[in-house]
Structure 1
């Protein structure tokens, strides 16, 4: 862990989640997934109820951590409006992230949840239960948290620029690939888990790179550039030009060519990851296939808008998401 974690709460302040508490905790995670992860949430409808709960828990945990990181840039940003008051008494983001890791480690080890914030307590309870229930390798959680520390000013590993795709992939190893590896035991595989891990990690990277391309404007506003500088430079694009395009609200020709190149790189990740879906339990393949199709289509939307990522956020229309999910349901029901 980076930095020094704050002292733990007294044992008397801890609470242990019983069955009813866990049901409520998972329901909270479901609400967070539905509100913030529409594509993932729609895909989880194709999973069994226990798997669905587990995925919602892992998503909510990742979202909670992302909220802490966002708080480093925007003190008014909160995951849930009901948290506003609690936010004012929270530690600095770097300390808060250390505290989350300590709380999760304790929750996994002995059950009690060392947190006073009700929302955090529920997310931690559902996450710890999911980790124990599915035997998720704890290292994947710590790798994820280490990557998130890279986004927080004041940590030794903090960075906001990436010189090469290799550097960016090192970040994505924790921010995205680790998520895919967390999900594997939940989804189930028809081969030893280790054989399915490379494709799962690659699919996580594909999702993450799609986010970076779609959210270029938002990230730039937060003084972050999650695109490799050398690949942008190959098309004559530097940071000054990115900022000029942002100020003008227009993607110029050199940047359009750079984004087209990176979209091709992104599609190659999807191509390499897709065969790994066949290594999953047959019952979950439609869900993961649906998520992959819908996320990859965000790239189509960026292209359809002539790469104008500074004017609107590329999204897949609701009717299209429903159609793809319906096909997934048919595949799950009839095995076609």
Structure 2
């Protein structure tokens, strides 16, 4: 005989879905150590509480990215046929994490924990998820403004969340703008470095209008006879990166010393990736650009003195892409949909 519904136990809401905090932190560290060696290096410079929260947030970002693409820590993406189902799962699990309900996935439980501890919002999370949605749909930017919006979703919005994790108030627009600039700078460096890998996965983040300006046929930008034009476009990406990088540093003086040091170290490492792509010229995609261990150590040391001096120089020209303008485009696209809470269909 079934028990009356009035005496059935409900699942209690707990930050982290009821998992032990130490186990979530351990899982999150493994995720960042495997997924991003550059960011893992910089993250070690934070104080312990901030460092662990940065790892918890990263674990969610990494897991969502893998789910959206059907990957495992950035491996080969799968077909886009079930992209809608995967995005639906991401939104459902993220909503459960916000509610403090168990998700059966430590990365989402980790997000629920850091969201509760730092006051991350559903709007912040949805801005990031929209970037995964663009990738899962095989989206490509037509204009430079499209590229700006993409960089915001996949990295600028993450920068905003990272700033809040570091203790920046959610209503401090100036600091969040600078954090967004830092994320965009990182993403521009990644795009410049990964042009060859993205092409192998049938992706291209160079705006179509840039390709048209260079008189490059669709899908032909990596052909040997277009290497000169491709080098010019990569240099254009790096110039944009440097502008956002310099603007982002204007926000670092208000961070605690160790957070400032970590952010500046990450900026130096990612900036070095972009500048190495530019320096290699037409050979930039023959071998993946990697910043070696000793070079990372030099950047960490340089960031220490930069953080100690704490006098960032403003860029000659502030970035054309601003968080405010991008958010207008994002919000005009429509309200954030309430995530579906009905169960996902069983696998066939």
Could you list the per-position Cα deviations for residues 286-307 of structure 1 after superposition, in whole angstroms to 9, with x for gaps in the alignment?
1100100110001221123224
Residue 88 of structure 2, aligned match among 85, 98, 123: 98
Q: Which residue of 2 aligns with 1:5?
A: none
> Cα RMSD over matched residues?
3.1
Could you tell me whether the CA contact under 8 Å between 1:26 and 1:123 is conserved in 2? no
Alignment partner, residue 43 of structure 1: 42
> What pairs up with 1:60-71 in 2 under 5 angstroms?
60-71=59-70
Mapped partners of 1:323, 1:262: distance in 2: 24
Is the 1:235–1:257 contact (alpha carbons within 8 Å) kept by the matching residues of 2?
no
Which residue is equivalent to 1:228?
A: 207
Asked if the contact 2:155–2:184 (Cα under 8 Å) also holds between the matched residues in 1, the reply is yes
**By how many angstroms is 1:191 displaced?**
10
Q: What does 1:142-181 correspond to in 2, within 5 Å? A: 142-152=126-136, 158-181=137-160
2:15 aligned with 1:26, yes or no? no
Secondary structure of the residue aligned to 1:151 is helix
- Extract unaligned runs of 5+ from structure 1: 1-9, 72-76, 82-86, 116-120, 153-157
- Normalised by the size of structure 2, how large is the TM-score? 0.77
Match of 2:289 among 289, 305, 314: 314
Aligned to 1:113: 102
Checking the alignment, whether the CA contact within 8 Å between 2:269 and 2:291 is kept in structure 1 is: yes
Alpha carbons of structure 1 residues 331 and 220: separation in structure 2 relative to 1, 3 Å: closer
More deviation, 225-234/48-57: 225-234
Equivalences for 1:1-336 in 2 at 5 Å?
21-71=20-70, 77-79=71-73, 92-109=82-99, 111-115=100-104, 121-152=105-136, 158-189=137-168, 193-245=172-224, 252-328=227-303
CA apart distance, 1:145: 0.8
Task: Give 5+ residue unaligned stretches, structure 2.
Answer: 1-8, 312-348
**Residues 1:326 and 1:20: Cα distance change in structure 2 (over 3 Å):** farther
Q: Secondary structure at the match of 1:224?
A: coil
TM-aligned CA deviation for residue 63 of structure 1: 0.9
TM-score (normalised: structure 1): 0.79
Q: May I ask how many residue pairs the two structures share in their alignment?
A: 299
C-alpha distance in 2 between matches for 1:183 and 1:138 = 15
In structure 2, C-alpha distance between the alignment counterparts of 1:216 and 1:18, rounded to whole Å: 39
